Chains A and B, each alone.
Chain A
């Protein structure tokens, strides 16, 4: 059996028609944007939340990242965030709202509080729920109708996806981060190469990563179309979890670890598709187009039109970005840098950035913001004095939230401006109408902020 099979099988409540399973959900995260209509559905039916203790709420997508202590200025955003608070109070759901010490991006706080644990099934009305798979969970995004189903019954209907294993063996070259691994994989498989699959990431290069680096990889599984991605739990996982607020304690902890140690794909496990990559071949990556599969090595060239499958769509994408086929991106001027999002806003990411920018300053024409993933990350940054380094270098260090990852609040990138971003999506207009997003690792983003143009960080030391 695969790791996925083991968790999947343990969560089937009943078989339903059409090969669907009644699938049990252990943990459910909700946020302000995709939950209000689900609570309305419960109200219309006059039913309660079935297992309120298994749902945890936070406000992240639509919150300001300045002056969170003040009432939200924008009326629609305020109403949406207030609606979440009212719904949580009315239905008995724990809320880590604005100002709470546990508030933050839903996929940052779940792991950091120890809510996310190996062997669990986790859903949220957000496609990057795949992040939690780093702990050896089946975790995936759902729509609002399914949010309502989970609230009402703690179950959803699912058909079993196909399974893919992606093995990355070897040692990563210097300056290459887990973000580069996943951008490399998506560039190889394309933005739809994983559709219909659940992915297990394996291999010595994956095993060597910290939990935070593993989360970055699982986070972007959806960007190749996969529902989710997971990594077998190991000592790194257990060390990360031990002592966190929601983690089991004492004898319960020992029993949990004994259970978690059985969570791996057996030697004879069968996958529908397998890929193997050599870590030594991976270099810092960057995207040039309008989907995350359009990535190249930072010192590479944008493919020529005769090298791609759909030249018309490819050209449309390049026109939007203002790039030409065959171009190199090195040396291109950029105006914005965004370091944040559930992909790269954790303390390790921010330490890395601080380490690089210490003693440097960002280019005068660049506006660069750093948005921590959670209140706890923000507090840790302050404890370590990294905020001072950021501000001295010219970064705008803000308060936690999704921010310019999706441009729902006022943190938007202007029309036609280039933004090197540590987030996960470079879709047209994702960071604001007409904004041009270039995805990269936190290290590349920091280097570009300093240089004011696209640079290979390996050439800056």
Chain B
């Protein structure tokens, strides 16, 4: 997993609530057996007309908005457990998603891939959207070590929560599986202890 410490970036705004994983990556694009290439179909049905031509006013087709930060409305990533949603967002080039509320499984999937989901207050989310609306090239700083998001144009910042273990994994580029594999003897011991119901 790629290490994550700090990021200065412009942002892509998606002020829509309840964005579900079927919008992020529709099921008909889940036929691949590798993790790569899902970015091409990120938000496919919002991004392209049925005939394959781009939807002009969808934000990913608007050259004014670029950057490694996606800012979205509340309850982002609800719906299915498909990790393809996190892969698609990451493959497209995003490293951070900010929202005021994330669905559980999406959040876990993102963290397991080094994509950082940041939950901010609804008021701060509005401030971020306003900053982007005012200036599409507004820069944001995400400082994982200090758990801070800053709107550079105004200097406003907000602290965000992240599980301390998950934070360490992101900073070190470390996966859960490395840790779990090191516990296999203990897991075997648990199995023979008869603790299960």
Query: Could you tell me the distance in whole angstroms from the C-beta of A313 to the nearest C-beta in chain B?
Result: 5
How many chain B residues sit at the interface, stated as a range, is 35 or more
Query: Could you tell me the distance in whole angstroms from the C-beta of A135 to the nearest C-beta in chain B?
Result: 12
Interface set, chain B 1-46, CB cutoff 8 A to A: 16-18, 20, 22-23, 26-28, 30-35, 45
Q: Contacting A77 at CB < 8 Å: which of B31, B50, B112?
A: B31
B30 A408 Cβ-Cβ under 8 A: yes
State whether the Cβ of A7 lies closer than 8 Å to any Cβ in chain B: yes
State whether the Cβ of A378 lies closer than 8 Å to any Cβ in chain B: no
State whether the Cβ of B138 lies closer than 8 Å to any Cβ in chain A: no
Which of B54-62, B123-131, B146-154, B160-168 has 4 or more CB atoms under 8 Å from chain A?
A: B160-168
B50 A34 Cβ-Cβ under 8 A: no
A13 B181 Cβ-Cβ under 8 A: no
Q: Please judge, given known A-B contacts A120-B197, A427-B20, whether A83 and B175 are in contact too, CB under 8 Å.
A: no
Bound together, the chains give a CA A192 to CA B119 distance in angstroms of 15
Q: Contacting A433 at CB < 8 Å: which of B26, B163, B165, B197?
A: B26
Count of interface residues, chain A, beta-carbon cutoff 8 Å: 76
Query: Could you tell me the distance in whole angstroms from the C-beta of A401 to the nearest C-beta in chain B?
Result: 13
A144 B83 Cβ-Cβ under 8 A: yes
State whether the Cβ of A167 lies closer than 8 Å to any Cβ in chain B: no
Q: Contacting B81 at CB < 8 Å: which of A20, A118, A125, A195?
A: A125
Query: Contact flags (1/0) for A299-314 with B, using CB distance below 8 Å?
Result: 0000000000010010
B16 A316 Cβ-Cβ under 8 A: yes
Residues on the A chain within 8 Å of B163, using CB:
18-20, 159
B108 A143 Cβ-Cβ under 8 A: yes
Query: Contact flags (1/0) for B158-197 with A, using CB distance below 8 Å?
Result: 0000011111100000011101110110110011000111
Q: Contacting B197 at CB < 8 Å: which of A119, A157, A406?
A: A119
Query: Could you tell me the distance in whole angstroms from the C-beta of B103 to the nearest C-beta in chain A?
Result: 6
State whether the Cβ of A248 lies closer than 8 Å to any Cβ in chain B: no
Residues on the A chain within 8 Å of B121, using CB:
none
Query: Could you tell me the distance in whole angstroms from the C-beta of B36 to the nearest C-beta in chain A?
Result: 10
Bound together, the chains give a CA A18 to CA B171 distance in angstroms of 15
Bound together, the chains give a CA A19 to CA B181 distance in angstroms of 19
Q: Contacting A127 at CB < 8 Å: which of B86, B105, B180?
A: B105
Residues on the A chain within 8 Å of B101, using CB:
192, 195
Query: Could you tell me the distance in whole angstroms from the C-beta of B194 to the nearest C-beta in chain A?
Result: 10
Query: Could you tell me the distance in whole angstroms from the C-beta of A327 to the nearest C-beta in chain B?
Result: 21
Bound together, the chains give a CA A13 to CA B190 distance in angstroms of 6
Query: Could you tell me the distance in whole angstroms from the C-beta of A304 to the nearest C-beta in chain B?
Result: 19
Bound together, the chains give a CA A14 to CA B191 distance in angstroms of 12
Query: Could you tell me the distance in whole angstroms from the C-beta of B49 to the nearest C-beta in chain A?
Result: 10
Q: A6-B197, A433-B50 are in contact. List 11 more A-B contacts (CB 8 A).
A: A11-B195, A22-B180, A33-B82, A61-B30, A129-B81, A153-B177, A154-B187, A192-B103, A291-B78, A425-B79, A427-B22
